[in-house]
Structure 1
Amino acid sequence: MHVVGTQVIPEQGGRAGFTVEFVGEGGEVVSVSMRNDESRSLNRLNAVERAKAVMLELANADISTPEEGTKSEVKSHRSARMTGDKDEMERQLDEGLEDSFPASDPVSVTASTIPTDRAKKH
């Protein structure tokens, strides 16, 4: 897989952890979800390196395949983006917006106090 991009997605503003998505040139997406510890040492800056370490551990793990006729215990799911689940994507967007509020100064509305010539013409 040739990685063409990565995306770091905070869970509850990063307090709960992060999901790192590695995107391949053929449209493949590999997601690694990591929970934050009590010291909150996982952050946006080190999430990609930690996700790489998790995948390296997985690649080197001794995973036995289930014997024929037995039920596999491995569960997988596709991301909301890959399945086109608009409701889930909206929920994630709302959660991200709530967790980042207030991210910037509030919108200000001002009215001009500069007089115009309209009053003089009447």
Structure 2
Amino acid sequence: MNIVGQQVLSDPGGIMTVEWVAEGGDVISVRLESSPDDLGVDAAVAKAKALMVQVATFGDVESDRADEPDVIGSPAVESLRSARSAKDTGTLEEQLDEGLKNSFPASDPLSATGSSITTGRAGSPDTDT
């Protein structure tokens, strides 16, 4: 599926909707509760992408998986599941922040670089030779 469009809508009630439109006209929408800590459009898009990854990875309801004792995940998956079941929002936010930092290195302002080489001379050139 190729995404051909993206838009972020903000309702006065504090709901942000991120929509992606595919070539065939299919639309994917993610509705987010907006909070005062949200930074805006970029943060909403990043949060919606992270939520879609969670849905794709952990789409099964926790109670459905309890019947399957042979389903074993990695330690990272198990820690996320335990944080979700305990409703530990602090741990979930830390994991989300860590995942976003790892997936968007180009948008990290600390990775910006600049040249420290000067292009001019400190003194005037000596023309008496």
In the superposition, the TM-score normalised over structure 1's length comes to 0.45
* TM-score (normalised: structure 2): 0.43
Higher relative contact order (CA 8 A, sep 6+): 1
